[in-house]
Structure 1
Amino acid sequence: MSTFKNKVVVVTGGSEGIGKALVDAFLHAGAKVATCGRNYDKLYQLQSTYPGLPLFIHSTDVSKEADCQNFIDGVIKEFGTIDILINNAGISMRAVFAEAELDTIRKVMDVNFWGTVYCTKFALPYITKNQGTIVGVSSIAGYRGLPGRSGYSASKFAVNGWLESLRTELLDSGTNVMWVCPGFTASNIRNAALNGEGKSQGETPMDEDKMMSAEECAAHILDAITKRKRTLVLTFTGKRAVFMNRFFPAMADKLVRKFFFKNGELVK
């Protein structure tokens, strides 16, 4: 992991789940790490576990442009530059579209898509100067629309398309742009998922114990950054979903419907 020694790595949404696992992994690899989140207490607790190590924390709502600029400005003031940006902060939803308020979908889009755009915009000059890496933590929902997650899928499709455009623009700059689709990974994102009214569900309909751990996911992401990959799709289920949707879309419709619905009701 000497690849990351003294590199400045920015991870949004680093107080729990995949984000926290990434912060842990990069610090252990010798990087200087900056992370943000909305809950300062969780960030402070994270920082307290690494006394003496270069970990910068900042209370940030990535759906707000000014917050993102203040965060990136803080990173530059603390570390002077940025080599790697991982846009990990995200929120999900669980409600069929007919029962979802438009504000719920708007909120998901603001966090997942605009949060990625804002942070990347302000960090871009430093990353391109260093010929570094920009990562978007996306989802299988960015390849295949998932029922009950219409706003989430829309935001991740947007992230994938936007990053692909950015990658093409930066192709001759030496900067790598990559999007990661973890598949079903154990994290807090389903517990924090919004219901139709835009409130946190506080529970998960999935069996988290059978999913890839956040730590394993983080290890795959670090390896992909080292190899400067274009995309990373994780888990067998995730790879199968992408394959089926590409080559057998009508069958994928039926299989996805069967997985998420029972007796006409959304159960997952």
Structure 2
Amino acid sequence: MNDFFKGKTVAVTGGSDGIGKALVTLLIQAGANVATCARTPQKLEQLKTLFADKPFWCVPADVSVYEDCKHFIEGAIEQFGCIDILINNAGISMRAELKDADVTVFKKVMDINYLGTVYCTKLALQSIINNKGTIVGVSSIAGYRGLPGRSGYSASKFAVNGWLEAVRTELIQEGVNVMWVCPGFTQSNIRNAALNEKAAAQGESPLEEGSLMSSTECAQHILKAIEKRKRTLVLTFTGKRTVFMNKFFAALTDKLTYNFFYKKGKLIK
């Protein structure tokens, strides 16, 4: 990584785990001023200790709460003077079929994944416009292809993709780059924290985490795409294949997706 991020202020939501933590670490190493937020104060305290001598600021926040987002964004600007790049990374998943899921699952997922992105982007927008910066949404392949057992998650990521595309078009004359990133399955805590049918964390992953792309590798791809001011980034061969297949062979992809997630009529992934 060259000096692109050196001296720039980057705000990352959900920076205490997984892809978010990897982004924070790489950005600090690249010489950026980094602000982050997360819902777990203890994990943020660990980051404070780790980056005690670095230009790093963090605060507990739930991005589904507008006032928390306001406190985070305004605090970052007060701390560093501006925000050049906003990476909307905070998110939550779910694992429950529609017939079993309580409606609170869908509201919670949408509030965090979609409205959290809207709140933080709106609050940081003028600073980013002033600096002709970048807005990033960490979305998902589920934002291109609806996934069974994750219908609320897919809905939230479709919303993020469409919203960012609209915002990108609105800002086309402002010198601001808007990008949405769609990792495939990546090593992170998101599946352990995914909501079950009762809106509680399921506490386990249905996937072989060790075989997935690492959070650090994913973060490296994201930062490289930011530097190149890309429009979209779809990661992993499986992710790219899924987007292609769903666009041109949708009915077949329905069947292939079902066969991947189900065994003998039971959701297994």
TM-score range, shorter-chain basis? over 0.9
Which residue of structure 1 aligns with residue 203 of structure 2? Answer: 202
4+ residue runs of structure 1 moved beyond 3 angstroms? none
Hey, what's the Cα distance between the residues in 2 that align with 1:180 and 1:73? Answer: 25
How many angstroms does 1:34 deviate by? 0.2
Counterpart for residue 161 of structure 1: 162
SS at match of 1:98: coil
Give 1:257's aligned residue. Answer: 258
Deviation at 1:87, TM superposition (A): 0.1
**TM-score under structure 1 length normalisation:** 0.99
Between the aligned partners of 1:168 and 1:51, the Cα distance in structure 2 is: 39
CA distance in 2, matches of 1:127, 1:246: 33
Structure 1 residues not aligned, in runs of 5+: none
Please name the residue that 2:114 is paired with: 113
1:8 corresponds in structure 2 to 9
CA–CA distance in structure 2, aligned partners of residues 240 and 187 of structure 1 = 22
Name the counterpart of 1:57: 58
| CA distances 1:131-182 after superposition (whole Å, capped 9, x unpaired) | 0000000000000000000000000000000000000000111000000001
Tell me by how many angstroms 1:76 deviates: 1.1
In structure 2, the residue matched to 1:92 is 93
Matched, 1:216 2:197: no
Counterpart position of 2:124: 123
2:207 & 2:48 partners in 1: Cα distance? 30
Distance 2:94 2:52 in 1: 36
Letter in 2 for 1:3: F
Residue 50 of structure 1 deviates from its aligned partner by 1.3
Partner of 2:241, secondary structure, is helix
How many residues align? The count is 268
Greater displacement, 39-48 / 129-138 = 39-48
Q: Secondary structure at the residue paired with 1:11?
A: strand
Structure 2 residues not aligned, in runs of 5+: none
Q: Residues 23-38 of structure 1: matches in 2 within 5 Å?
A: 23-38=24-39
1:78 is matched with 79
Paired with 2:33 and 2:106, the residues of 1 have a C-alpha distance of: 35
Provide the identity percentage.
Answer: 65
Letter in 2 for 1:107: K
CA RMSD of aligned residues (A): 0.4
Letter in 1 for 2:201: S
1:66 and 2:67 correspond: yes
**Deviation at 1:77?**
1.1
